[in-house]
Amino acid sequence: MKFTKMQGCGNDYVYVNGFEEKIPQEKKPELVRRLSDRHFGIGGDGVIFINPSDIADFEMEMYNADGTRSQMCGNGIRCVGKFVYDKGLTDKEQITVVSAGKIKYLDMTVEKNPADGDNRGMVTKVRVNMGSPILTPEDIPVRVQGDEAVDVPVKVDGKEYRMTCVSMGNPHAVIFMNGVAELNLEQIGPSFENHECFPERTNTEFVEILDRGHVFMRVWERGTGETLACGTGCCATAVACVLNGLTDEKITVKLLGGELFIEWDRQQNVIFMTGPAVTVFEGEI
């Protein structure tokens, strides 16, 4: 099986061309676990199969490193855009990608190098219309009272935190605090992920406000653990920041693996995410 290793802000996945590689569906979870293993496999935060679609230009079939399905990955979908353009699966610089039934719109920045005789160029950056944030608790889902889960208390490992919950097609709990860089995520992350108030588990963002336009974020992703970046987590963080009056509607999210620019267009109620997409290497396994 041929594969491509790609990363966006250090959030790395193994990409498989589903047009050419036909893997039986029932074998994918075990295959994903093997490929994602950083010691005995290729290594990555998960595996993404790029497939044909009847309702969009392409389908993104995404799996976490533990073999469970996931609905959306902001860094992952940017790399899908780079994959299909750079490999000539499309000539369009604006495409649609469906994941778990939800269609996203990608606008790709293509850089050309005339010195190399390269007329098509390659994708260096992707802007994604991530759609509208979901704030209704039962749709996130999170078990809290009220119409929104904004600045609500949650007790984890005997300590009370304040969380704001948002879904970007997958659930997020955003925790604002100081000292994020020193936080022991290996200890606290699983306790948030598997907390009883999250019926489908959750991704958890620990966020420190730097100023009205910049925040620092670390993330614990369900089914994977701490990753260097999380695109949907950055989108959820931007929404949580605005809802709590902490930042403007356009922010730069600083991550362990780089930076993402997030804009919440309140008039359209749409989140835009812009960031890099990088091919690391190609291989066969």
Q: Is 230 known to be catalytic?
A: yes
**Chain position carrying tokens 């009056």:** 245
E strands present in 65-150: 69-70, 94-99, 102-111, 122-131
* 9 counts as catalytic: no
- Give the Cα separation of 62 and 90 in Å (integer): 20
| Closest residue by Cα to residue 14 from 40, 53, 56, 45 | 45
Which residue among 9, 73, 79, 241 is the active-site one? 73
Other beta carbons within 10 Å of 74: 29
- Residue 37's alpha-carbon distances to 2, 75, 79, 102, in angstroms, are 17, 19, 20, 28
Catalytic residue among 230, 234, 235, 241: 230
Spell out the residues 6+ positions from residue 139 whose beta carbon is closer than 8 angstroms to its own: 167
Q: What gap in Å lies between CA 177 and CA 191, rounded to an integer?
A: 17
3-class secondary-structure state, position 190: helix
Instruction: Tell me which residues are annotated as active site.
Output: 73, 230
